[in-house]
DNA sequence: TGCCATGTTAAACT
DNA sequence: GAGTTTAACATGGC
């Protein structure tokens, strides 16, 4: 479920609780549940794949990891699997199989909001600067670096590299300036396409290489390999994606 | 049926 | 203590 765009969709479906007081909190999350009731959920902020429920001096940070899910108003899984349930006057919010932390609100000040590819605060120039500092890093790794491209996940990584015709094992420092620009631009643009397609339930249909076997451009066989220090699945065309 | 994957953290190593 | 590697988490699709 969760790359950055999916998290934005989650935010849209839970934002209706913003401004409401939390009546009760329970679940198997290892946090101090007693501190939560009575707090007002002031705001919901997302940063890449993380969601911050901001309330008073605290913020509840939710990360869906690989298999996390949520539901609104109706508990959809057995009580035993419930990680966090927040009860509001107007309804209920449920989270499952996710990382939950109760943090000091101050942590929000430490976040580099300019790194969130889906945010209005996204600053491509800043991303470029960060990339310039690590010329030996592979493009397949840097796209997954949440400090540079917060919200980008493995699907977006694979699709972006195909779109710009760059081999996943290319070194960042070897990319011509125009390709570097394209990388940064597509990381954001594809994320918005992902968001749009996900909302329309047609995301998979639009995958060009991720989990695919045939290159949509040349008809050749795609390579599937775990690459980089992140060692995540890469799907790419040896012919249409140039190694820099 | 068993494998593995849209992800990250923390423990266990060196 | 640092940096690096491994395991844990635990669901659902193929």
Q: Identify whether A180 is part of a domain.
A: yes
A217 touches strand B (CB under 7 A): no
Structure-token match 């066989």, residue found = A221
Interatomic CA–C1' length for residue A6 and nucleotide B5, angstroms:
16
Which pLDDT belongs to residue A71?
92
Which pLDDT belongs to residue A1?
57
The span from the CA of A143 to the CA of A169, in Å, is: 12
pLDDT per position in chain A (244 positions), as tens?
Answer: 588 889 999 999 999 999 999 999 998 888 889 999 999 999 999 999 999 999 999 999 999 888 888 999 988 888 888 899 999 999 999 999 888 989 889 888 888 999 999 999 999 999 999 999 889 899 999 999 998 999 999 999 999 999 999 999 999 999 999 999 999 999 999 999 999 998 888 888 889 999 998 999 999 999 988 888 888 889 999 999 999 9
Last-in-domain residue among A82, A110, A138? A110
Residues facing A60 on adjacent strands: A53, A102
Residues facing A55 on adjacent strands: A58
Do A130 and A55 have their domain in common? no
Q: Identify whether A140 is part of a domain.
A: yes
Last-in-domain residue among A83, A110, A137? A110
A201: which 2 tokens?
A: 């339930």
Cβ A3 vs Cβ A152: under 8 Å: yes
Taking residue A19's Cβ as centre, other Cβ atoms within 10 Å add up to 12
Q: Identify whether A243 is part of a domain.
A: no
CA A178 to chain centre: 25
A63 touches strand C (CB under 7 A): no
How buried is A28 (Cβ within 10 angstroms: 0-12 exposed, 13-18 middle, 19+ buried)? middle
Range of the domain at A141: 114-236
Q: Identify whether A244 is part of a domain.
A: no
Which pLDDT belongs to residue A149?
93
Do A74 and A169 have their domain in common? no
Which residue lies nearest C5, CA-to-C1' measured? A229
The domain that holds A42 is classified in CATH as 3.20.190.10
Last-in-domain residue among A52, A81, A110? A110
Longest distance between any two alpha carbons in chain A, whole Å? 60
Q: Which of residues 103-142 of A touch strand B (CB under 7 A)?
A: none
The domain that holds A159 is classified in CATH as 1.10.8.50
């Amino acid at each position: 479920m969760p790359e950055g765009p999916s998290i934005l969709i989650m935010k849209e479906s839970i934002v209706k609780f913003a401004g409401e007081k939390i009546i009760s909190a329970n679940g198997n999350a290892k946090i101090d549940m007693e501190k939560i009731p009575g707090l007002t959920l002031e705001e919901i902020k997302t940063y890449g794949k993380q969601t911050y429920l901001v309330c008073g001096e605290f913020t509840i940070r939710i990360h869906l990891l690989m298999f996390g899910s949520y539901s609104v108003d109706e508990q959809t899984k057995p009580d035993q699997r419930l990680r966090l349930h927040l009860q509001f006057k107007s309804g209920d919010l449920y989270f499952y199989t996710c990382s939950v932390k109760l943090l000091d609100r101050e942590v929000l000040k430490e976040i580099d909001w300019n790194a969130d590819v889906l945010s209005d605060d996204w600053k491509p120039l800043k991303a470029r600067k960060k990339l310039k500092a690590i010329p030996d890093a592979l493009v397949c790794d840097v796209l997954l670096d949440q400090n540079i491209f917060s919200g980008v996940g493995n699907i977006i990584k694979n699709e972006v590299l195909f779109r710009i015709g760059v081999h996943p094992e290319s070194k960042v420092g070897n990319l011509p300036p125009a390709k570097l620009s394209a990388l940064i631009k597509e990381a954001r643009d594809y994320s918005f396409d992902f968001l749009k397609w996900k909302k329309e339930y047609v995301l998979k249909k639009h995958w060009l290489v991720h989990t695919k076997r045939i290159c949509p451009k040349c008809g050749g066989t795609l390579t599937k390999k775990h690459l980089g220090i992140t060692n995540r699945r890469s799907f790419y065309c040896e012919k249409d994606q140039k190694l820099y």
